[in-house]
Structure 1
Amino acid sequence: MNVVIIDDEPKARKLLEILIKENCSKITSIFTAEDLISGVDIIKKEQPKIVFLDIEMPEHSGLEIFDFIDSASSNFEIIFTTAYSEYAIKAFELSAVDYLLKPLRADKLVDAIEKAIANIGKSHINLKLEELQKSLKSSNFKKIGLPVADGIKFINFEDIILLKADGMYTKVSVHKASELLISKPLKHFETLLESIPTFYRPHRSYLINLKYIQEYCKKDGGYIIMDNNESVSISKDKKDEFLTIVQNIG
């Protein structure tokens, strides 16, 4: 049985390949690709029974696979491998689409493969994928809705530089955009963004996006300078944790 792994992260591809070899004797050949287009080429050539497909990839999302393959002639099952957070997993379940959460576990992998084998040729994966796209789109998966005076502004998670508590309000600094004052407390956003690994709360008054850190200054007890030149305090009990995170990023 042939399978194809499509994932833009080399370590993720290698780990999945190792887990399959160690736990799934029914699978005889494993092919890998770093992007959707090259993965589609392999699928057309090798005719796999199962495709392990990451969703968030450069160029093309895994959800676009049937834009490049004739769904009527696709005789394979898809198992999505994803780091998506819990609130998005509901969309997978409502669409009856199989998925594995990263970091991957061997027991879950075996169960997913057995289920996929049983469903080959009879699960209408292309229809499920259409429903999944609708579900993810309706939940604004890549964005967060911020209530403003004249409506709701949808901002990409990755464009948020930092969030700052202002009483029962929160000031949101956005990359290449004006600061927003939102009538929600910072705790509300901490809960919404807790599963996005780039967000970190170094102080009770701040929630920052680690990708926008410009500098860490040791003086005055230590503080962070963000790319928008705003200084962010660090709580004493968070300093060691923060420095560990920054060192790992580097």
Structure 2
Amino acid sequence: MNKLLYSTPMSLEGFTVVQNVASQATGTNLAMRVAGKRNMIQLGDILYLKSAKNYTIFKLKDGREIISSKTLRIFEEELLEISNFVRPHRSYIINLEFVDDLYFNCRGGEVLIHDQKIFISRRKAAEFRRSYRRYLRTTGQNVSSTIKLKTTIRVS
């Protein structure tokens, strides 16, 4: 009991430094281990993440693919807090910044990112639209004209 009363004093400076480093890492970069080395990936470079069973494949805008041994669900918890990442399908998380085209139909829809077609599931289509509109508003783009230009409804 006396040990608790007479614990060693700690400086608050260490805590603020750790908090600053943590906020920088989650704000613009994503830390991950690849082949035993710690890598920092800039969030603005990520086009999408693809699930491959117990692995996640990162597709970057420079064409590189990085494979991580973590599942997509682990990255989902980290990335979906950031407003421009959304999960349109159980196998993908996409960066809304790189959406080239959208198609909605009775089965959900499709997103085109750098010539890669990614399906939007039926049950996530409404949530995807809300997230995309929220993203357009935060970037200052006109929501109605952008949605009309990018969205075509095809009857299948």
Task: For 1:219 and 1:194, locate their aligned partners in 2 and report how far apart those are by CA, in whole Å.
Answer: 25
Task: For 1:203 and 1:169, locate their aligned partners in 2 and report how far apart those are by CA, in whole Å.
Answer: 16
SS in structure 2 at match of 1:197? coil
Could you say which structure has the larger radius of gyration?
1
Greater relative contact order (CA < 8 Å, ≥ 6 in sequence): 2
Change (3 A) 1:154 1:177: farther
By how many angstroms is 1:198 displaced? 0.7
The aligned runs of 1:28-107 (5 Å cut-off) are 94-95=15-16
Work out the number of aligned pairs and report it: 122
Matching residue of 1:140: 25
**Do structure 1's residue 243 and structure 2's residue 129 form an aligned pair?**
yes
Q: Give the one of 94, 104, 111 matched to 1:224.
A: 111
Matching residue of 1:185: 71
Question: For the aligned residues, what is the CA RMSD?
Answer: 2.6
SS in structure 2 at match of 1:241? helix
By how many angstroms is 1:177 displaced? 4.3
Task: For 2:101 and 2:76, locate their aligned partners in 1 and report how far apart those are by CA, in whole Å.
Answer: 23
Superposed CA offset, 1:116-159 (max 9, x none): xxxxxxxxxxxxxxx4xx64236624211122125122111121
SS in structure 2 at match of 1:176? coil
- Which letter does structure 2 place at the counterpart of 1:137? V
- Which letter does structure 1 place at the counterpart of 2:127? E
- Which letter does structure 2 place at the counterpart of 1:245? S
Matching residue of 1:164: 50
Task: For 1:196 and 1:247, locate their aligned partners in 2 and report how far apart those are by CA, in whole Å.
Answer: 15
Over the matched positions of the two proteins, sequence identity in percent amounts to 28
- Which letter does structure 2 place at the counterpart of 1:225? L
Matching residue of 2:97: 211
- Which letter does structure 1 place at the counterpart of 2:64? S
**Structure (1 or 2) with the greater strand fraction:** 2
By how many angstroms is 1:245 displaced? 2.9
TM-score by length of structure 2 reads 0.68
The unaligned stretches of length 5 or more in structure 1 are 1-93, 96-130
Change (3 A) 1:149 1:206: same
